Amino acid sequence: MTDDHNKTEKKIDAVSGVQTTGHSWDNGSLEELNNPAPRWWVIVWLITIVWAIGYWVVYPAWPTLSGNTKGTAGWTEYKKLAEDQAEITARQNVYLGRFEGASFDQIMNDPELYAFAVAGGRAAFKDNCATCHGSGAEGGKGYPNLNDDDWLWGGDIETIYQTLKYGIRSEHEDTRISQMPSFGKDGLLQPEEINQVIAFVQSLSQGHEGAHAEEIDAGAQVFADNCAACHGDNGKGMREVGAPNLSDNIWLYGGDHDSIYESVFNAHAGVMPAWVGRLDNNTIRELAVYVHSLGGGEATPAAEGDDQPMEEAAPVEEMPAQETVKEPENDGETSGNNEPEQEQPAE
């Protein structure tokens, strides 16, 4: 534009009768008329000026040597934050009230409550669990992956809740507990027998290829005599004692020969802390819902009832009727007395 822009005399334009500005293009054939800005535009412009001045008076605006002008409304970022926070807390309390009174069944069937629980559980997981299980709950050596459907102790929500509440080999008296013997260290098996049983264990997930059939057969006998009581006849694991499935090629401590040798020679005993005194009951329940939501969550046995031993299925079926009673079994006096005390701090 500037290239071919010339200055000409200001004059009255013959066609419109308006004065020109004295700017012209294309050798004077195109001239600019000096029309005033449209009235509506000027009015809007004036309004914005008035608005801006009003804003400076009412709200904090200009920097000064000692900080900034405060504004007559007393508005601050901190106040706004506090108000927003109060609103969020109030809204959370509405959900928390509903959440507190709801059974897991009700939570699962209420999309709003469910979303609330998963969000709360995700946050609590980052704070309390990610150090051991990883921020995506993917686990690591000795720390189970919580996203898959391979469970040591069980993946329905009540079972997860129980695991979180009391822990595994924790200091709580109601902890889940079991201990695989250290077959090598305690001289229960000779190194040769350990190698045989490893060949058998590996054949469960990797087939018979490469290994000697006799060694595997001998290992099968060692397994039946020493391992099946916990890991099951065909190595599928046993949740009552937290014994891992050895046939699915998912390993807590590694599936190569040396790792399995280590697991059998010097048995592991993974420890998961109890959360009952450290987190309130709502948070533990949110965590249970969150872990259950990660992908491996299983239906409560009462609904499905498949491959659950009879003595397990019976008390679980009574659960909906006695939702507030957390432990169906009441045989140990100590844990029976203990129960109400634990519920109180959660209120």
The binder of ligand HEC chosen from 158, 170, 183, 199 (CB under 6 A): 183
Question: Within 10 Å of residue 311's Cβ, how many Cβ atoms?
Answer: 9
Contacts 24+ apart (CB under 8 A), 175-181: 175/274, 176/242, 178/230, 178/241, 178/242, 178/243, 179/267, 179/269, 180/230, 180/243, 180/267, 180/268, 180/269, 181/267
Nearer to ligand HEC, 84 or 214 (CB): 214
> What contacts 160, CB < 8 A, 6 or more positions away?
154, 288, 291, 292, 297
Nearer to ligand HEC, 35 or 135 (CB): 135
Would you give the DSSP letter of residue 319?
A: G
Span near ligand HEC by CB under 6 A; candidates 26-34, 67-75, 159-167, 304-312: 159-167
- For ligand HEC, the nearest residue by Cβ is 270
Contacts 24+ apart (CB under 8 A), 23-30: 25/1
160 near ligand HEC (CB under 6 A): yes
Q: Does residue 30 sit in helix, strand or coil?
A: strand
The binder of ligand HEC chosen from 116, 172, 196, 242 (CB under 6 A): 242
224 near ligand HEC (CB under 6 A): no
122 near ligand HEC (CB under 6 A): no
142 near ligand HEC (CB under 6 A): yes
Span near ligand HEC by CB under 6 A; candidates 1-9, 32-40, 102-110, 178-186: 178-186
The binder of ligand HEC chosen from 107, 117, 118, 152 (CB under 6 A): 152
Span near ligand HEC by CB under 6 A; candidates 2-10, 59-67, 128-136, 306-314: 128-136
The binder of ligand HEC chosen from 107, 118, 199, 201 (CB under 6 A): 201
Q: Does residue 20 sit in helix, strand or coil?
A: strand
Nearer to ligand HEC, 102 or 199 (CB): 199
What are the structure tokens assigned to 131, written together?
């150090």
Nearest Cα neighbor of 246 from 262, 217, 269, 223 is 223
Spatial separation of the C-alpha atoms in residues 62 and 180, rounded to whole Å: 71
Spatial separation of the C-alpha atoms in residues 327 and 47, rounded to whole Å: 69
Q: How far is the CB of 311 from ligand HEC (least distance, A)?
A: 19
Would you give the DSSP letter of residue 165?
A: H
Span near ligand HEC by CB under 6 A; candidates 10-18, 105-113, 204-212, 244-252: 244-252
268 near ligand HEC (CB under 6 A): yes
Give the distance from CA 69 to its chain's centroid: 44
CA distances from 209 to 80, 199, 202, 205, 246 (A): 68, 10, 10, 11, 17
Q: How far is the CB of 125 from ligand HEC (least distance, A)?
A: 6
Span near ligand HEC by CB under 6 A; candidates 101-109, 227-235, 298-306, 309-317: 227-235
Q: How far is the CB of 111 from ligand HEC (least distance, A)?
A: 22
269 near ligand HEC (CB under 6 A): yes
71 near ligand HEC (CB under 6 A): no
Q: Do 286 and 117 meet the contact criterion of CB atoms below 8 Å apart?
A: yes
Q: How many CA atoms lie within 13 A of 22 on its CB side?
A: 3
Residues binding ligand HEC (CB under 6 A): 125, 128-129, 131-133, 142-144, 146, 151-153, 160, 163-164, 168, 178, 180-181, 183, 197, 201, 226-227, 229-231, 241-244, 246, 251-253, 260, 263-264, 268-273, 275, 287, 291
